[in-house]
Amino acid sequence: MRCFIDHIAVTAPTLESGAEFVREALGVSPQPGGEHPRMGTHNMLLRLGETVYLEVIAPNPNAERPGRPRWFGLDTLRPNSAPRLGAWVTRTEDIHAASTAASERLGEVEAMTRGSLEWHITISADGSLALGGLAPSLIQWKAGEPHPAGRLEDRGLSLVRLELFHPEPERVSRLLRSLEFEGPVSVEEARPGEAPSLVAQIRTPLGLRTLSGRQA
């Protein structure tokens, strides 16, 4: 039931603002992705390895509003909200077993699509993210299909480390142990008064760059 990093997600009120945030941080622009009909969202993508990628995700202004809260807490964003590294997703080959084993409630397992891609993912009923976004969503891609990161253009980027900052770091660590998680992730205590946040260290053609979820 082991789990691994699948992708990290920049949440933004618009794709344009999210793409600019990534471009300023990494010096590379994400490429077009697609639409998520069930969630009323769309995305842009950057490859970070053979089975890892970065996603910029935002509400799709041209899509019908879903009859439920959007995932990744997107409905809490205002038009002037700053884009940030707001979520991460771990891959498993048995999402139901992983969800049951998790020490935190990660949401219900739901089927999802984007174009020809099919997968199952955990989503909470209210669209929120557990542990302030530090609890990963679980994903299981359709069996027998190559990982979608392999479809993306290789821009010479790779994820070096994902840092998780939380007021209760042991709670986050306990969750990762319950998921049998393996990967370049560190869990640290947030500074006093600081909200939970994600920080990604990413190797780029311009050197090591930081993509942050810390709120100003």
Query: What residue ranges do the domains of the chain occupy?
Result: 4-212
Cβ within 8 Å of residue 54, ≥6 positions away:
7, 8, 9, 10, 22, 30, 45, 46, 47, 48, 157, 159, 200, 202, 211
pLDDT digits (tens, 9 = 90+) for 122-172: 999 999 999 998 999 999 999 888 999 999 999 999 999 999 999 999 999
Q: Exposure of 72 by Cβ count < 10 A (0-12 exposed, 13-18 middle, 19+ buried)? A: buried
CATH topology of domain 4-212: 2,3-Dihydroxybiphenyl 1,2-Dioxygenase; domain 1 (3.10.180)
pLDDT digits (tens, 9 = 90+) for 78-105: 999 999 999 999 999 999 999 999 999 9
Say whether 171 sits in a helix, a strand or coil.
helix
116 falls in which pLDDT band (50, 70, 90)?
confident
pLDDT digits (tens, 9 = 90+) for 50-83: 999 999 999 999 998 898 999 999 999 999 999 9
Q: Are the beta carbons of 166 and 104 closer than 8 angstroms?
A: no
**Model-level pTM?**
0.95
CB count, 10 Å around CB of 150?
12
